[in-house]
Chain A
Amino acid sequence: MLLSPAEWQALRISLQVSLVAVALGLLPAIAIAWLLARRAFPGRFLVQTLVNLPLVIPPVVTGYLLLIALGTHGWLGSRLHAWLGIRLVFDWKGAAIASGVVAFPLMVRAIQVGIESVDPRFEQAHRTLGHGALSTLRRVTLPLCRHAVIAGAVLAFARALGEFGATIMIAGNIPGQTRTIPLAIYTALESPGGDQQAWRLVGISIILAAGALAASELMLARARRRLAP
C-alpha cells in the first residue's frame, strides 16, 4: 500500500503520540493500580472515581480541561513554559498528554485486575525473605501479572491511536505536527475526493490495532506457558 508523504507523517505522529502516551502513563498507572488493589486508605473511592473519570466524560471535555490547565496561560502550562520552555498547546507533546489521560483508566483497570489476581501469599513470602514493598512489587507482583500490564499497555496504546476529541482540543490539527491518523481521516473526509485517502488511513488504523493486539496475545500465551503448574 503506497502512502503519500502526508499520510506517512500522520502515521509517524500517531505512533509517536501513542507510544509516548503509554510510556508516560505506565509507571503512574502501576502505582495507582497497586494502591487500589493492595491498600485500604481513606479516599480510595475518590481516587478510583478520579482515575475512571476520563472513561465516562466526553473526550472533548477532557481536552478542554487540559487546555485550561496546560495552556500558555494555564496554571501548569504557564509554569512549564516559564521554567522549562516547554509548550504543550498546538504541539505533539500536548497530543501525547491528552491521549495518555484518556487512555489512563484502561491501563489502570487492566493492571489493577492483574495485581488482584496475584496470590498475595507470594508477596508475603518475598517480604519475609528480606525485601521491601517496592522490591516485592518489582520482582514478584509485576512479573506475575505481566500479562495484565502488557494487556493494559496495549489497550492504552490502541485507545491513544484512536484519540480524537481531546487531542484536537489541545493540539489542534496541524499537518506534519499534530495531525494524527484520526485527525487525518477526518480532514480527508472533509476534503473533496478525499475518500481514497481516508480508506487508506482506515486500513492503517485497523492494521496497527490488530498488530498490537496480536503481539500482546503472543506475549500472553508465552507468559501463561511459563507459569503453568
Chain B
Amino acid sequence: MTALLTHCVHRFASGFSLDAHFETGPGVTALFGPSGSGKTSILSAIAGLFRPSLADIRLNGRQLSSSASGTWLAPNQRAIGVAFQEPRLLPHLRVRDNLRAAKPCDPARAPPIEVLARDLRIDAILDQYPATLSGGQRQRVSLARALLRAPQLLLLDEPLAALEQPLRAHILDVLARTIGQWGIPALLVTHQLDEVRRLASRVIILDRGTCVANGPVDEVLPKAAAAGLLAQGPVNLLHLHDPRQDDLGWTARLGDQRIRIASAPSSEGPLFVRCLPHDVLLATGPADGLSARIRLRAAVRDVVRQANVPRAFVLLDIGQPLWAEVTLDAIHDLALAPGRKVTCLIKSTALEPAFGAR
C-alpha cells in the first residue's frame, strides 16, 4: 500500500539537479545518500518548506503538492512531524513551551507532554531554556515536538546523531514503538546502522538528486554499505539466512555454504554480518590448503582507488556486492579487470555481527 508518493524535480542555482521519484508504505524508510545528494531538499519539499519547480506529493491519497493542479499546501496544513538535523528549538521558549507549541494533528493519538518527556528522558529539563541544553538533549526535545504533532508522516533528519549509547538504544525503542503503534510512514535520513536496524523496513538510496535504489532493507542495505553511505565508510554487509544452533553455537547460510556466527540472531529484521574490505582476499585460481573458511565465487565489476586505496568491487554469484582491498601488484599479477572471475576468501573470524544478531 502506498502511503507516500513523492516526485520532485528542481534545478538549483548551483547547478545541482533534483529529480527524485519514489513511493513508500507505512513503516520507516531509511534514506541514504552522500552529502549533497538531495536528502534534505526532498524532506523540505515534503514538509512544504521548499517548493520545487515540479512536484507531485501525496500522503495517504491526499494531494500535498501538485504542479499540474497548482496545489501547494502550507507546512501547517500537511499533518507532518519534522525532527530537523539541527534541532531548531525556539530559543525564547522554555522546553515545556517548545513542546506545547506542537499542535496535534490527531489529539486522540497525541501523547501527554509529561508522559512523552519521561519516555524520552527530558522530564528534568522542561523548565530550562534551549541555550542551557546539551546537543543530545536538544535533539530529544526536537524529536518530542515532532511526535507531539501525532502526525500522519514523520520526517526524521539524522534525529539521534548527537546521542550516545545506551540512551540512543532506548530512544530508538521509543521511536520504533510509537511509529509501530501509529502505523504511519516515516522517512529517516541516517548514516547509522543501528538506526536502520531498529527502525527501517525499507531503504532508498539517493545519488546526485536521483533515487537509485528503493527496496527492502536486506536487498538494498548492502548496496548502501558498499557505496560507503554508512558512518563507518565502505563496508561489506553479507546477508545470511536460516540461522541454526548446534553444539558449538550458531551457524547461518551464506549462499550454498553454512558459516559460523559469533552471536545468536535476534528476532528483529534480517540477519547481516559485516566485514571490512581489507579482510577479503581474491584468488583467480584454485585456493586449496588455506584456513579461510568462507569462499564465494564472484566476478569483478570494477577496480577503483578510494581515498588512494586500490579496491576491487565484485558481484558475488549469490547476488551480493563486495569490496576487496588489493595492492597495485595484485591487480597487475591477477589481471583484475571488469569481468574477471575470482573467488573471494574471508576468514570467519573477520566477520562481525552487523545487525539482526545480538
Q: A: which residues have CB within 8 A of B?
A: 121-122, 124-133, 139-140, 143-144, 226-229
Contact = CB atoms under 8 A, between A and B. Distances in A.
A171 B103 CA distance: 50
Contacts of A124: 49, 75, 88
A228 B91 CA distance: 9
Interface in B94-113: 101-105
A16 to B, nearest CB: 33
Nearest to A125: B88
Contacts of B82: 125, 128
B125 to A, nearest CB: 16
Interface string B120-152: 000000000101000000000000010001000
Interface-centre pick from A121, A129, A140 (highest chain B CB count, 10 A): A129
B92 A129 contact: no
Nearest to A130: B103
18 contacts: A125-B88, A125-B90, A126-B90, A126-B101, A127-B74, A127-B76, A128-B47, A128-B49, A129-B76, A129-B103, A129-B149, A130-B102, A143-B92, A144-B91, A227-B91, A228-B131, A229-B91, A229-B131
B145 A121 contact: no
A131 B103 contact: yes
Given A122-B91, A139-B101, A144-B92, A127 B75 contact: yes
Q: Which 10 A-B pairs have the closest CB atoms?
A: A130-B103, A125-B88, A127-B75, A128-B82, A129-B102, A229-B131, A143-B92, A124-B49, A130-B76, A128-B75
Nearest to B81: A128
A130 B105 contact: yes
B80 interface: yes
A223 B47 CA distance: 31
A140 B90 contact: yes
Nearest to A227: B91
Contact of A128 (B76, B92, B104, B129): B76
Nearest to B79: A130
Contacts of A144: 90-92
Nearest to B50: A124
A63 B295 CA distance: 93
A132 B49 CA distance: 13
A143 B78 CA distance: 25
Contacts of B104: 130
Contacts of A121: 84, 86, 88
Contacts of B92: 143-144, 226-227
A54 B104 CA distance: 46
Q: Is the interface of B mostly helix, strand, loop or mixed?
A: loop
Contacts of A227: 91-92, 131
A226 to B, nearest CB: 7
Given A139-B101, A227-B131, A127 B49 contact: yes
B292 to A, nearest CB: 52
B84 A125 contact: yes
A143 B101 CA distance: 14
Contacts of B49: 124, 127-128
A12 B354 CA distance: 79
Interface in B273-332: none
B9 to A, nearest CB: 21
A191 B128 CA distance: 62
A228 B103 CA distance: 27
Nearest to A144: B92
A133 B76 CA distance: 9
A132 B76 contact: yes
Nearest to A143: B92
Nearest to A139: B101
A134 to B, nearest CB: 11
Nearest to B47: A128
Given A129-B145, A130-B105, A122 B90 contact: yes
Interface-centre pick from A122, A130, A228 (highest chain B CB count, 10 A): A130
Contacts of A125: 82, 84, 88-90
Contacts of A122: 88, 90-91
Contacts of B145: 129
B355 to A, nearest CB: 31
A132 B77 CA distance: 9
Given A125-B90, A127-B74, 16 more contacts: A121-B88, A122-B90, A122-B91, A124-B88, A125-B82, A127-B76, A128-B48, A128-B80, A128-B82, A129-B103, A129-B149, A130-B76, A130-B104, A143-B92, A144-B91, A144-B92
A228 B131 CA distance: 7
Nearest to A223: B92
A169 B24 CA distance: 69
Contacts of A131: 76, 101, 103
A142 to B, nearest CB: 10
